[in-house]
A and B are shown apart, each in its own frame.
Chain A
Amino acid sequence: MNLFCIGLSHRTADVATREQFAGSATAESILRQTGCAEALLLTTCNRVEVYAVSQPRVSTDEIARCLTRRINSDPHDYAPPFYRYEANKCVQHLFRVASGLDSMVVGESEILGQAKKAYESARTSGAVGPYLHRLFQRAFRVAKHVRTHTDIARGAVSVGSVAVDLAQRIFGKLSDCKVLVLGAGETSERTARALISRGVSDLRVSNRSIDRACELAQAVGGRSIPFDDWAAQCREIDILITSTASETSLLTTDKLAPMLRERLDRPLFIIDIAVPRDVDPRVNEMEGVYLYDIDSLRSVAEQSLALRRQQIAAAEAIIAEHVADFFDSISQGLNRPPQTTERPSLGENSLRAWEL
């Protein structure tokens, strides 16, 4: 039996090329057209991959023809940059993909859900047999192992999630935090929504246009504050998200100092996503104030990504162990019928294929 993976990803093809091969084929159609014993199609915005098991060798062109959206066209027309991994290389590739090592944002976890969905879909249609069942079950386990034993998924990598992550590092539980959104822009709305999703319940919105403030407050389940009163709110609030179009600093050390004296034991987290900035950078030097502007949020996101990249070697080591172990077990195990616990709830086609 040949175990292989053929596909293209963000590493080898641009989106225009990838979309030529996404969405038209199914695992069943691949089985039908190529004569593979088992097949699974993994399609995401960043990759189109076929994992398959066949007795005779199936060429890359055959698979590419199954995937192409253009009827009767030869994939050579676009010279698509397909890669092909066989045997243990295929196993290693899948483990890397499931663990998020091959993703555009290293360590992202969405791919694992997508792989599980692809497996479930192929299993339901009967395109998955014992080989791919074992392979994918192990891949899911490896992904979990990698995530829990390395920092590959640590830290937020987008501006909104960095802000939420930092808020949690300062306050722990966010359910008791009071948040003021100053300026009803799109980014501040997104950040506010992210905070609400993590438990924030006291949210206030202030904007030069009170109508817009009311609109956003209603949308996010908060309450509006007149723009003239926002500064006084700094006595009470824990998190300030600011993104107004003001040309000058709205919050300076002089303005904040008297209010801080009343809240010395409570930190104040300020997220300034306005350009030009709404908050004087010197505010960050004040006791208990943590000011992050758009550049520092991006810098934190980059640091998180760098941290994740540092973890690649550790993750690769875990994967290498699993690849060796999996190959040992499969080379022994596939020469005998699978045990009851290992056997997937196969469709009729796969059961027949297994019996054959």
Chain B
Amino acid sequence: VDRYLLIVSTVCFLAAVVHTVAELRAGVFRPMRFNFFAVGLGFIFQTAFLSVRGHALGRCPLTNLFEVFVFLAWSVALMYMLVGPLYRLSLMGAFTAPLVVLLQGFALVAPIDMSHPVKVPANPWVEFHASISTVAYGAFALACIAGVMYLIQERQLKTHQLHSIFYHLPSLTDLYATITRLLWWGFALYTLGIASGFFTGHPLPRVQVVAAIGVWLLYATILQSRHLRWLAPRWVAALCIIGFSVALALLWGITFTAGMPPLP
């Protein structure tokens, strides 16, 4: 039953993508209400899926790569629901939906929904560590989306070629401020996630620790560069995209190598 909930959720997000593409092709771009509704509905089904799965497992549903991807997609949608209306970034829904479809589509199609061979007892620290880190990834994902929006808007302004979407994107200054806020949110949550990992009472796998610290350092460098004005906003936006791609690849790596020897 839970997979059906996820399928319905994916269809909702897909509807937002199709709607956006159709409107872009028609040259009439009015994504606001429909996209927010579609993403909102998709979010409800995502939450329902995670709730059902969580009840079945008796713990936070982050036990395999399938659940990690769905939880990440949920975090992205959650961040959008929080950030979108707050910063009047309704168009962000048009950019968020494809990422969620991609994450959930992959989770549904790839054979990664393997049930855990040993039923490990629930540990609140492990659950807190895993869930908060994934929500932090959601913030990084949204920073990446805002980065894409920034680069599109910046490119149009530089080349003097303005398309229909230009009039719906927020200003460069607003986008840059949003990127910064999302990076700080993500970084704070991720720091909390890493720190809580040390309280789990379990030995930590070496690769996971190295990868997590690598991602933390990457975002710390981006934020430091932004704070000290070493980088122009365009480069910060580009680094948000690169950073999230790297973080996503490492997340996959971390989950695959979860069985490797722990730190001494």
Contact = CB atoms under 8 A, between A and B. Distances in A.
Given A170-B171, A171-B171, A311-B27, 14 more contacts: A149-B30, A151-B27, A151-B164, A154-B167, A170-B157, A172-B173, A264-B229, A264-B231, A265-B226, A284-B158, A290-B157, A290-B158, A303-B161, A314-B26
A300 B160 contact: yes
25 contacts: A149-B28, A149-B30, A151-B27, A151-B28, A155-B167, A169-B171, A170-B172, A172-B173, A172-B174, A264-B231, A267-B173, A267-B233, A284-B158, A287-B232, A288-B232, A290-B157, A300-B160, A303-B161, A304-B162, A307-B27, A307-B164, A310-B27, A311-B28, A314-B26, A314-B28
Nearest to A289: B158
B32 to A, nearest CB: 11
A264 B160 contact: no
A284 B30 CA distance: 31
A152 B26 CA distance: 13
B234 interface: yes
A292 to B, nearest CB: 7
Interface in A142-166: 149-151, 154-155, 166
A169 B157 contact: yes
A197 interface: no
A307 B166 CA distance: 11
Interface string B140-166: 000000000000010001101110101
The winner among A154, A169, A267, A304 for most chain B CB atoms within 10 A is A169
Given A151-B167, A170-B173, A171-B173, A300 B28 contact: no
Interface in A270-306: 284, 287-288, 290, 292, 296, 299-300, 303-304
Interface residues of B, number: 28
A168 interface: yes
B161 A287 contact: no
B147 to A, nearest CB: 15
Contacts of B162: 155, 300, 303-304, 307
B170 interface: yes
Interface in B221-245: 226, 229-234
Contacts of A166: 157
Contacts of A171: 171-173
B89 to A, nearest CB: 12
B160 A265 contact: no
Nearest to B167: A154
B26 A172 contact: no
B259 to A, nearest CB: 44
A264 B176 CA distance: 13
Interface string B111-154: 00000000000000000000000000000000000000000010
B122 to A, nearest CB: 45
Contacts of A151: 27-29, 164, 167
Contacts of A296: 160
The winner among A149, A155, A171, A267 for most chain B CB atoms within 10 A is A267
Interface in B171-228: 171-174, 176, 226
A314 B164 CA distance: 14
A175 B157 CA distance: 21
B172 A169 contact: yes
Interface in A5-57: none
